Structure 1
Amino acid sequence: MAYDRYVAICRPLHYGTLLGSRACAKMAAAAWASGFLNALLHTANTFSTPLCQGNTVEQFFCEIPQILKLSCSDSYLREVGLLVVSACFIFGCFIFIVVSYVQIFTAVLRIPSEQGRHKAFSTCLPHLAVVSLFLSTGLFAYLKPPSLSSPALDLLVSVLYSVVPPTLNPLIYSMRNKELKDALIKMISWKFFSSGSITISLHK
């Protein structure tokens, strides 16, 4: 999405060439391959870790810190290695997003009209909102001080960074679609007025 916004704003005349079906397929394949590799490494490590304190985690998925609490082997170095690999993936994506948006904002600030700048910024806001939500909740989950750690808080934070961003993702991007916004407003107003008419008729 960062590259898409960069091409759309900084190189609009080359959009069709730089973001054709082949380029999109390559980017999707790279994202899927890196995600699959990361998941495969963590899954293999999880199944090779001996557990001596039962096999029940206080989460809705097998998160690494919770599995380490149940482990009876010294798998610290192995887990650190996997976390370093994951951090490299995340850091690489983060640097790419930052570099893209630095160039985007530089180009937008050179647009003479305020309306043009507003329109360009509004195309970037959905992506920035999703990325900011995911990064802030994810960083809090893994970097919060031990004094703040509790089973309930860990579960809540895990839900925030693993469930909320993917759920809100299509909603945030779709809100730029005028037809969808009109349909949503119409549906809400219909629900509101229909429930109001039902209440009135019941009182009568």
Structure 2
Amino acid sequence: MPVTRLLAAAFLATSLAACAAPRFEADVVRFHRNDVAQAGTVSLRHADPKVTQSLEFQQYAAILGERLARHGFRPASGGQADFIGEVGYVTSTRAPLRDGSSSPISVGLGVGGIGSHVGVSVGTSFGLGQKKENNGTRIHTLSLRLMTPDGKTVWEGRATTETDREEGGDFASLFPKLADALLSSFPGPSGKTTQYVEPSGR
């Protein structure tokens, strides 16, 4: 086979593989005051003070802090921060029904949404796209609430994505993508659910 045909075949195979690879998608909802500040110092914490001290949380906080820096926020280095950022994250599982479809009921452990606390969360969840869910679905959620030091909420949001259980997709690997989705076009439209699609090339 001529070299040009070999190169063309290799290029076609690479292009098809790229097209077949699913791009990350998430449903995002934000709520905020009209006068939400887009700059200032911020101190990130978990709803549970013990979790805040964990290495896992510190890794997540570093990623989220880097994303916040793109929008003018800076880590608080001593003294009182302009904003307190309360971070929550949870992975829950929605089991399949007998007919192979996915149950609308999900059960998970963690911080299950804007303003909720550590514990078991049971509730309905919205779907993403038209995924086939024959073996159950993992639902991954990242939430953030920005508050003033006196406890007044100025911005809060939640980003949710789904993976098939067979695909895996551990939360640690998904966290940077969820952070990108959550803070995309910050502060984002208030009170409206939007779909985030990861830009090509990432």
What TM-score do you get using the length of structure 1 for normalisation? 0.22
Q: TM-score, normalised by structure 2?
A: 0.22
Greater RCO (CA < 8 Å, at least 6 residues apart): 2
Give the structure with the higher percent helix.
1
Q: Specify which structure has the higher proportion of strand.
A: 2
